[in-house]
């Protein structure tokens, strides 16, 4: 204390010297204070884990949200086409039967004709049909009596089944006619009246000629006498009417007349 009192400058230098000594001592101790494990100290000092530098953080980009695909539109079903009769019938379809074919009309069967002949005062009368002679009296077609008649079923003839009424002049006498007449029967069904016919003339040489043809004829009443003119006035020795009824069945008539000029 007395020294500081006498020498103030020395007293000011004393703390500084003490701090310097203490710092030196600390440095020596750190370097040489524990030589046995000083290396370990240094090792510990030198091998302290160093803090890792900050690692870059990968920032993941947001995953875009993808909407699920829209369902495909339902298939468009085309309108159903009605199946043909020959096609398989789909389930739930009402089968409509095809229209029935028109009925087949059987072809007329050719029947051999049976000739029924009778001599009359002007010649020979013949009826050709499919009925036997006992059922047909051919002379009644030329007896000038409308209350009697003939009826015969058709037989094979040119142009199809028909009933033929033929008149042959006596001894092949040649005549020329300008008209002829047919009288409907007093009895039976009007459907058996002659409805269509051909008038054929047999020439002197045996050849045949069509003198007249009629179709769709109607007799207005029973014993209706109708007269038809002939355009072809060729000379003939025989005349033949090929008669067909309206219903295609039997033919019935009262009289057949061949009219010559006076």
Q: What is the pLDDT of residues 131-185, one digit of tens each?
A: 998 899 999 999 999 999 999 999 988 888 999 999 999 888 899 999 999 999 9
- Full-model pTM: 0.57
Is 60 exceeded by the pLDDT of residue 87?
no
Do residues 160 and 31 share a domain? no
Do residues 246 and 123 share a domain? yes
Please give the tally of structural domains in the chain. 2
Position with higher pLDDT, 246 vs 43: 246
Position with higher pLDDT, 254 vs 26: 254
Spatial distance between the Cα atoms of 191 and 204, rounded to a whole number of angstroms: 36
Share above pLDDT 90 across residues of the chain, in percent, rounded to a whole number: 43
Domain CATH for 231: 2.60.120.260
Given this model, what pLDDT does residue 172 score?
81
* Residue 62 located in a structural domain: no
* Residue 85 located in a structural domain: no
Do residues 139 and 29 share a domain? no
Tell me the average pLDDT across 100-129.
73
DSSP string, 57-95: PP-PPPPPPPPPPPPPPPPPPPPPPPPPTTSPPPTTPPP
* Residue 161 located in a structural domain: yes
* Residue 157 located in a structural domain: yes
Do residues 35 and 121 share a domain? no
Range of the domain at 157: 114-259
Given this model, what pLDDT does residue 218 score?
96
Given this model, what pLDDT does residue 164 score?
95
Do residues 138 and 246 share a domain? yes
* Residue 9 located in a structural domain: yes
Do residues 154 and 36 share a domain? no
Do residues 253 and 150 share a domain? yes
Given this model, what pLDDT does residue 36 score?
46
Do residues 36 and 118 share a domain? no
Residue 105 confidence class, pLDDT cut points 50, 70, 90: very low
Assess contact for 199 and 239: CB atoms under 8 A.
Answer: yes
Given this model, what pLDDT does residue 45 score?
45
Tell me the average pLDDT across 115-131.
88
* Residue 94 located in a structural domain: no
Tell me the average pLDDT across 110-137.
86
* Residue 82 located in a structural domain: no
Do residues 221 and 136 share a domain? yes
Given this model, what pLDDT does residue 58 score?
58
Do residues 119 and 6 share a domain? no
Position with higher pLDDT, 203 vs 74: 203
* Residue 103 located in a structural domain: no
Do residues 141 and 231 share a domain? yes
Among left, alpha and beta (phi > 0; psi -120 to 50; other), residue 188 is left
Do residues 139 and 38 share a domain? no
**Which of 110-114, 119-123, 138-142, 248-252 has the lowest average pLDDT?**
110-114
Rg (Cα) of the chain, in Å, rounded? 72
């Amino acid at each position: 204390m007395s020294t500081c009192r006498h020498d103030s400058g020395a007293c000011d230098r004393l703390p500084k010297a003490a701090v310097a000594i203490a710092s030196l001592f600390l440095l020596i101790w750190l370097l040489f204070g524990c030589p046995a494990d000083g290396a370990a100290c240094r090792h510990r000092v030198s091998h302290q884990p160093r803090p890792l530098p900050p690692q870059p953080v990968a920032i993941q980009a947001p995953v875009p949200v993808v909407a699920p695909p829209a369902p495909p539109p339902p298939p468009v079903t085309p309108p159903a086409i009605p199946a043909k009769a020959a096609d398989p019938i789909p389930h739930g379809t009402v089968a409509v039967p095809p229209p029935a074919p028109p009925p087949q009309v059987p072809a007329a069967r050719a029947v051999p004709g049976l000739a029924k002949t009778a001599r009359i005062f002007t010649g020979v009368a013949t009826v050709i049909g499919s009925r036997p002679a006992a059922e047909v009296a051919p002379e009644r077609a030329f007896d000038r009596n409308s209350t009697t008649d003939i009826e015969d079923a058709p037989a094979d003839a040119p142009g199809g089944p028909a009933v033929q009424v033929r008149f042959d002049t006596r001894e092949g006498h040649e005549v020329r006619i300008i008209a002829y007449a047919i009288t409907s029967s007093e009895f039976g069904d009007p459907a058996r009246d002659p409805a269509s016919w051909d008038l054929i003339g047999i020439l002197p040489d045996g050849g045949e000629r069509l003198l007249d043809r009629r179709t769709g004829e109607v007799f207005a009443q029973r014993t209706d006498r109708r007269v038809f003119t002939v355009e072809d006035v060729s000379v003939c020795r025989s005349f033949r009417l090929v008669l067909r009824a309206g219903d295609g069945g039997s033919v019935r008539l009262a009289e057949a007349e061949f009219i010559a000029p006076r």
